[in-house]
Structures are given as structure tokens and as C-alpha cells.
Structure 1
């Protein structure tokens, strides 16, 4: 039976593919205050702005390619049961070949009914417009978990972390909750890795290996460590 490697990935994993990170530049995201474009209040105030913002993110992500970190994580499925829990809304893990991906904060290439959140639709194009409606007649919105909204996938994510044999946190500041709390659910006796150019403070955690590198360099170093971990 393969050991289970559970990975929490953040913006630093996608940054090497040219995807803008969220919290750079004083809370601005591509020149916008994040609350303008990533909150229910922002949506109510100016839905056209929000739609256009995510259209541009989608257009950018459509042409982005997986980097070495994505590719190495996908290749690890040959040796491990790999579960990716990502804070990213792009589809680069899937493009690289990862087969088990949990998106905590939604997915760029899906839309959602504003009337019934259970109605979610795949998008095969980059543009979502005012007037695009669900089957029940309500405006479609980006399938993104905005600030102040519940994170419906957090419970499945907790279950995966709690049953991990190895846990890795890659490219995240661990500032956004509840995702940042997932590290606390990892069994104390398992190996844990934190990979980031600025490794965040996580308190006193057993069996923790810190790797101060980019996602691609850090994943390669983690794989070298994994080869030394015996059954």
C-alpha cells in the first residue's frame, strides 16, 4: 500500500508559472483592493468589476503552464497516494497530471448560481458576463470562496491531513484561515515539510523540516528527503 502524501499548496506554487500572488503589495491584487473583488460586499457593489477581474485572471490562467513544482508533485503519484489541497483557484495541478486535488477557495474555470450555490458549471471559455444566467434564471458568479464566506471543502481537507503519512506545506504564508490551521491536524509523529522563500512561523511542531527555497527547488529537495525516509 502506498503511503499518503498530503500537500497544502499556496500562491507560491503558481507564482513560478506567472500567476499573480494574492497578498503582495499591501493587500492589493492586480491593482485592486482585495475586498473590491473578493468579497460578497464587492460583488454587491460592482458585479461588473468583479466579473471583469476574474475574466482577466481566467484569461491569464488559460495560457499558464505548470512549473517544475506542479510536475514533480504529479510524478510523486507513482510512489505515493498524493492528495493536493490547494488555496489556488487555477488548474495548474490538474494540468500537470495530479489526480486528487481539493480546491479550498474555489476554481476559476467554474461558475456558480447566485440563487442556488449547489448549481456549479464548468467553463470552457474565459469570459463570464452580466446576463449569463443559471438554469433557474439567476446571474452566474465566479466559483470562488470570497472573504467572509464559508469554506465548504475544509472538512474533507481536514480528514485528508489527519490521515496523512507525510504532510507538506508549499508556497503559502499560512495567513489565511481556515487553511492555515490545517497543519495542526497532521499527526505529530509523521514527517512534515514547509517550503517557502519566507518560511512562516508555525509554532512548536514535531518532525518539521523547513526548506527556504522556491516551490520548484523546495519540492526537489523534499523528494531527496523522502528517499531517505524508510518504511
Structure 2
């Protein structure tokens, strides 16, 4: 069945992540949660065994699992060394019905439209940075946003939600403590852009038909989102 699914994506000219984004945004899809792909497990030894990983100045690893000793955590590696580990809140992984008539997104904690509040798993490029981003979907500020996939970002937790860090509680983004979000933002900003390898969402290298690794100019920060239960 998966083979047929991926074949359909090819025929439609869609990437897996594009198809996922369409599922998140489809208000009529109330039954099927977005499906995460099988991804290559990350291990700290990868910095020694996978030389291409060291081409990224920063590697940000988010574990969106709601169980295990590393559940709901973010780790920041700089030049292969762990510099930060902190609690986060990833997406609630549920269908958000959106605000009803008369409800206010900020007052009633509802979204402007219906969608799935999931944090996608995979290996992602950094898309953009916005130190003072405002979410129209939730009508709230998201300071120190670093976007890495279809509107998903790491950012400072909105005021009043800090107590939920360590559990799934967001609309899909990765919330961080107000003291920690600026550190990640600054690390990404400082590393800037350069020549980096292109990765498939499952964590494998994108290569030419001749087997050469494809590279491009992009942010020197790689995001890895996993759903790993570590006892």
C-alpha cells in the first residue's frame, strides 16, 4: 500500500512533505492523522561515522515522543558537541476543529481554521528566521521563530504556557522556554548559510545518478525531529 502511495506522489509531482502539508491543511480530513515516514535514527556517534553531518555547524534534535526519558526534549549540537538540552512542547497530535462562531483564538485557545496539530518527523532544512513572528492561525506572538517545515518552527512558548513544557501541548510548532529559545535562534543566525548536503526527509543523502552527494547553499543548521521512546 505504501508503495502505491509513494507512486501516486511521483505521478502528481509531489514530495512526501508536500503531501503531508496538504493533509494538515485539509479541514475535511477528520479521521486520518498525518503519517510520519520511517527515518534514519540519529546517534551522537553519527558525527564520527557520517562525515557529511559535520558540514552542518548546528544539528537540532527534537524528540516529540510523549514517553521515555528523552520525551519532549530538544538538543542542540554545535560542531558535533552537545551545547543545550531543554524541555519542549511539540504538537498535540490531534485534529483541531477551529474556533466556533463567536469564539476568539486568543481568549478561547482555538485556531482560526481546522487542521492537524502535528509536529512532522524527519530531517529538515532550516527555512527562515523571524525574531518577532506573529501567528495568524493562533493570533499570538511566536518570538525567536526558526522555521524548518511548512510553517513549523521552534520558538518561545507563549506567555502562560511555560508550565506545559515537557508534554505535547502546541499547535504543531516546538515551544521552548523563554530563556532557551533565543539561544537556539542565535546559534542558527550565527552559523548562517553555506554549502550543505541535501537530505531526503527520511535522513538519507540525496545523490545524483552517478552517486555523488548533492549540495546546495542553505542554512548551516539541520533539524531532526524524531519520535523515539528511550527507556
TM over 0.5: no
**TM-score normalised per structure 1:** 0.29
Structure ranking higher in helix proportion:
1
**TM-score normalised per structure 2:** 0.29
Structure ranking higher in strand proportion:
2
